[in-house]
Structure 1
């Protein structure tokens, strides 16, 4: 199916899912796109033992229970963003298949995360790992402890910039999101990776030598952002260049933000979204919802 301008939010009834609904509803309003709340149910496999066919009543009960979760999520969405255009979709079967299919049609998929199984298991859960790894559109992870409040509705958008191809793609998404939200964009670039350390090997430890490298890195960041600033002239950009670890620098910059955008296969700290230590740490520690942008398949 052709891609639609629609935001999909996975619902499982958890507190993390409820937090994700707030973020998704606010985003849908700011982007002027409809929100679709989705969930799935499946019959426990043991009920198929010895050729037994579960009665229709069990399917009806599971569907009704899932609809209750959807209706609760819809109330949360409308309470947080009253003008949101919200619909729902319920399917029988695998949540992975459902979300991956929907990712081929949607602007983004939004999921709750609390680090424990099911739709809520961002790092350990098979559903979330599969969706982040294989979705055809960006996936936004909203942890249960991420603050989604009236105040953070208006926070900045943060992007980690490292110069890789997927970082370029993520940077454009970040500018697009900031533009749609009327938000400031904070672009973070750190330079304590191995290449920079190697380039500093022959330098004196004097502060002015560090300043030379930092000035070069600031100029490089400005160059990487220039074409997006030209494309999105209304986006105010704050550049943060620091000699620090990526996780700490990006987490610090994301305090009070409404979104952090990260590429999934960048150079250095961003390489290997699910397996890389930096990305894994950001999934667990980022103080705001986090968008994972993957390279083109």
Structure 2
């Protein structure tokens, strides 16, 4: 068994959905699934008279109840999974970032409760995604077919080529088609030759995934997040893949309103890729029209 998928849980409905998709991902990859819950000790003391209600249970006990339930759900979905449940004292963003150090992918729900309630909301949540050491999947939308199309946003940046490779890999694992979406945004000022260079670079990446069928879509003079959202809805996508930073239409993807739009409005899970340090040189070659190597 190789690989590690990490999922953050807090007992919420959205976290439960994240567990389902993380379990699916671990099963596809033959990877271990780590279920992690972050908690902090309350600043107030319990009442003098012991209260046996759930509200006054030891936070660590409550945390383990959440983790155990998530593990049961994962095993029911894929009995062959190898699980590692963990309860960690600390703030959710920091706990998740640390957990991502050795993970292949980190899964989180779009919204949560106590442990992860701000994970994708506001500056704290955005910082957690930016600082992760691995790709992050923000789970949202309704369940889709296992082989629903995978969409990847392309804008010519190094980050987008990392996203393209991740998109092809996800499509391969799922037995799904890949849709590569370019967006020419007003004011970008890129020459047609530069767009042609982008178009010729993608086949080089595709050569490493001969079993994946792929097509391209080009949007002219449109907002990249809104175009990707509409395309995902129209194609019934099962996953939307974007780079952590881009140029033009995808610039600032994880900063401010653009990231918020995709996380809050995409009709499917959003995979945000993170280029590893050792990959950056190879990824840079892709921007010149050659296929990067991982």
TM score, norm. by length of structure 2: 0.80
Distance 1:87 1:76 in 2: 13
Aligned partners of 1:22 and 1:76 also within 8 Å: yes
**What residue number does 2:108 align with?**
111
User: Which one has the largest radius of gyration?
Assistant: 1
Distance 2:57 2:65 in 1: 12
Name structure 1 gaps, 5 residues minimum: 49-57, 200-212
Aligned partners of 2:7 and 2:35 also within 8 Å: yes
Which one of 56, 71, 75 corresponds to residue 72 of structure 2?
A: 75
1:129 aligns with 2:134: no
When residues 125 and 17 of structure 1 are mapped into structure 2, their CA distance, relative to the original with a 3 A threshold, is farther
1:164 aligns with 2:157: yes
1:254 aligns with 2:232: yes
SS at match of 1:72: helix
Aligned partners of 1:270 and 1:279 also within 8 Å: no
Q: Which has the higher helix share?
A: 1
When residues 105 and 220 of structure 1 are mapped into structure 2, their CA distance, relative to the original with a 3 A threshold, is same
> Which deviates more, 253-262 or 234-243?
253-262
**What residue number does 2:142 align with?**
147
SS at match of 2:146: helix
**What residue number does 2:209 align with?**
232
Total equivalences in the alignment: 265
SS at match of 2:73: helix
TM score, norm. by length of structure 1: 0.80
Distance 2:116 2:127 in 1: 10
Aligned partners of 1:157 and 1:258 also within 8 Å: yes
SS at match of 2:142: coil
Name structure 2 gaps, 5 residues minimum: 47-54, 278-294
**What residue number does 2:223 align with?**
245
Distance 1:12 1:28 in 2: 20
